[in-house]
């Protein structure tokens, strides 16, 4: 497991201390390892002489679980098996003892897709489960899971995987597959994956099919219509400097090259957010957006304007025009001042000005 150390540690300790719950709920964005964690956990529970966390990957029982042929580990797709009749059938099957391992493990993926009737049918089994049955649920939308189900599970929230961890994993794959790939290309793939290792692996596999054994950053940019980190940084600098001509020029060049403007806006927001965090850490100012130093308030207003324009760029009919307007609004927003901060500054100035002689005479 990559980037989910808190989940790995808790499950390992649960196995070592024989405190295995009867139901687990894995929550997180797509591609963060929910189903993979469930399968590995099932292997640890049902391996020979198990449960044990450090199982032998060559164990026949473990291999059968990995191949999907084990009778004791049943994977169910909640999206296509969401009727009450199918859950009732599951409820009947749980009474039978496992054939090989110590437990029967039911892995229900996308559990939020179950109907309310199916949830209610499952609830009784969760309340009084047989000793030999373990449930592992996975979902990307926990808000749709009934609270009565959640309360009977141990919940684990899997977080998006950090870009550096994704890059590290892709480097391992590249070494195993004898693929030469530049660090810039891997960073670009990790940026596209948005914290999902599965998405990163899919993108990497597609790039291998496209490029062969040598992959560079321009290849990734061309295939997926992205812009380089340098272009994003240059555009952010133009926003900070209020250089309207450069902004329009960069947009025209990217649009002519077939770049994805929606993705470009997301990358620009991420870059400005990094500058905002730098301004906060540096005491109120940042120089990360080119030569122009901006205050925390200015960067916040710029980022807010970019965020507000996201919907119009994604869903509007004129994507390029909406993108241009969003960026120009961000420039103006960064140069405006909040009325409350102006009043506060004027008040401070008024307090610092010494009173005149006439005012002193009136007081006497």
Quick: pLDDT tens for 111-142. Answer: 888 877 788 778 877 887 888 888 888 888 88
Q: Are 114 and 82 contacting, i.e. CB atoms less than 8 angstroms apart? A: yes
**47 pLDDT tier (thresholds 50, 70, 90):** confident
Task: Find out if CATH 1.10.1200.10 is the number for domain 229-337.
Answer: no
User: How many of the other CB atoms lie within 10 Å of CB of 209?
Assistant: 8
Higher-scoring residue by pLDDT: 85, 7: 7
Domain boundaries, the chain: 5-157, 163-224, 229-337
Lowest mean pLDDT, pick from 2-6, 123-127, 259-263, 356-360: 356-360
Per DSSP, the three-state class of 30 is: coil
Provide the CATH number for the domain formed by 5-157 in this structure. 3.40.50.300
Q: Is the pLDDT score of 363 beyond 70?
A: no
Residue 251 has pLDDT above 90, yes or no: yes
**pLDDT tens per residue across span 258-306:** 888 998 999 899 999 999 999 999 888 888 888 888 888 889 999 999 9
Q: Residues 273, 280: contact at Cβ < 8 Å?
A: no
**For domain 163-224, which architecture applies?**
Orthogonal Bundle (1.10)
Q: What is the pLDDT of residues 54-94, one digit of tens each?
A: 888 888 888 888 888 888 888 888 777 667 777 777 777 88
Query: Tokens in use for 139?
Result: 């979902």
Give pLDDT tens digits for 300-352: 999 999 999 888 888 878 889 999 999 999 998 888 765 556 676 667 777 77
Tell me what the pLDDT averaged over the chain comes to. 85
> How far apart, in whole angstroms, are the C-alpha atoms of residue 164 and residue 299?
26
To the nearest whole percent, how much of the chain has pLDDT over 90? 17
Beta bridge partners of 77: 109
């Amino acid at each position: 497991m990559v980037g989910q150390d808190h989940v790995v540690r808790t499950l390992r300790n649960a196995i070592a201390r024989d405190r295995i719950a009867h139901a687990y709920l894995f929550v997180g964005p797509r591609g963060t390892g929910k189903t993979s964690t469930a399968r590995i956990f099932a292997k640890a529970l049902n391996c020979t002489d198990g449960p044990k966390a450090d199982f032998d990957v060559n164990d026949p029982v473990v291999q059968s679980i990995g191949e999907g042929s084990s009778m004791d580990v049943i994977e169910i797709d909640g999206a296509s098996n969401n009727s009450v009749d199918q859950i009732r059938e599951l409820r009947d099957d749980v009474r039978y003892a496992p054939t090989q391992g110590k437990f029967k493990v039911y892995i229900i993926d996308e559990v939020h897709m179950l109907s309310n009737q199916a949830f209610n049918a499952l609830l009784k089994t969760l309340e009084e489960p047989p000793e030999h049955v373990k449930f592992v649920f996975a979902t990307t939308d926990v808000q749709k899971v009934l609270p009565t189900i959640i309360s009977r599970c141990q919940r684990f929230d899997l977080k998006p995987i950090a870009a550096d961890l994704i890059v590290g994993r892709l480097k391992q794959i590249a070494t195993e597959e004898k693929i030469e790939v530049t660090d810039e290309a891997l960073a670009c793939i990790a940026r596209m994956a948005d914290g999902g290792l599965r998405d990163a692996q899919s993108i990497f596999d597609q790039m291998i099919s496209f490029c062969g054994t040598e992959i560079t950053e321009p290849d990734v940019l061309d295939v997926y219509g992205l812009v380089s980190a340098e272009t994003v940084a240059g555009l952010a600098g133009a926003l900070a400097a209020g250089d309207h001509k450069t902004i329009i020029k960069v947009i025209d060049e990217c649009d002519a090259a077939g770049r994805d403007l929606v993705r470009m806006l997301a990358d620009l927001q991420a870059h400005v957010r990094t500058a905002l965090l730098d301004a906060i850490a540096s005491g109120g100012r940042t120089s990360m957006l080119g030569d122009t130093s901006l205050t925390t308030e200015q960067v916040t207003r710029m980022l807010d304007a970019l965020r507000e324009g996201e919907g119009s760029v994604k869903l509007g009919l004129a994507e390029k025009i909406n993108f241009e307007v969003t960026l120009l609004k961000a420039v103006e927003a960064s140069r405006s001042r909040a009325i409350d901060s102006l009043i506060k500054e004027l008040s401070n100035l008024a307090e610092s000005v010494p009173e005149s002689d006439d005012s002193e005479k009136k007081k006497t």
